[in-house]
C-alpha cells in the first residue's frame, strides 16, 4: 500500500508540474482576484515571464506589475515589481507549490512602504 501511495503522489506531482509548464501562455487567477499571466517560458529551464495584475479590491487596485519566475517540479517561485511609477511601487517575492494540475498555493512577501506577507491560492483559467 505504501508503494502505491508514493507512486500516486509522484504521478500527481509530475502532472501538476507538466501542467504549469505545458500551458504557455497561461492565466492564473488568485482567490482574491489577482491575476498572473505567464506570457513566455522556457520548458528546458522552467523560467518564465509575464504580468501580474494586483487584487482589484486592494489599495493599488488592478495595477499591472512585471513578473519573472521559475518552475522546478512542483515548486514555483516568482517576483513581481513595478518601478515605472512612484505610486504602488511594490516588489513582492512569491514561493509556492503546484498542489494539483490547475492549483498553486503561494506565500508572498511584499516590500513597499511597509513589509506585508500573505498566502494566495491561484487557479488555472
Total domain count, the chain: 1
Residue 7 host element (H or E): helix 2-22
CA distance 125 to 34: 12
Q: What is the pLDDT of residue 21?
A: 52
Per-residue pLDDT of 24-68, as tens digits, reads 799 999 999 999 999 999 999 999 999 999 999 988 899 999 999
User: Whole-number mean pLDDT of the chain?
Assistant: 84
pLDDT at 17 over 80: no
pLDDT at 6 over 50: no
Place of cell 511601487: 89
Show the domain range for 108. 2-124
CATH of the domain at 21: 2.40.128.30
Amino acid at each position: 500500500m505504501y508503494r502505491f501511495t508514493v507512486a500516486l503522489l509522484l504521478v500527481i506531482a509530475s502532472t501538476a508540474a507538466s501542467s504549469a509548464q505545458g500551458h504557455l501562455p497561461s492565466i492564473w487567477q488568485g482567490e482574491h482576484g489577482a491575476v498572473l499571466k505567464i506570457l513566455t517560458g522556457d520548458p528546458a529551464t522552467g523560467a518564465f515571464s509575464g504580468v501580474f495584475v494586483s487584487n482589484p479590491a486592494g489599495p493599488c487596485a488592478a495595477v499591472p506589475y512585471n513578473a519573472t519566475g521559475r518552475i522546478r517540479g512542483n515548486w514555483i517561485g516568482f517576483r513581481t515589481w513595478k518601478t515605472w511609477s512612484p505610486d504602488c511601487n511594490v516588489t513582492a517575492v512569491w514561493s509556492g507549490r503546484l498542489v494539483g494540475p490547475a492549483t498553486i498555493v503561494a506565500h508572498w512577501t511584499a516590500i513597499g512602504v511597509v513589509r506585508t506577507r500573505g498566502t494566495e491560492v491561484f487557479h488555472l483559467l
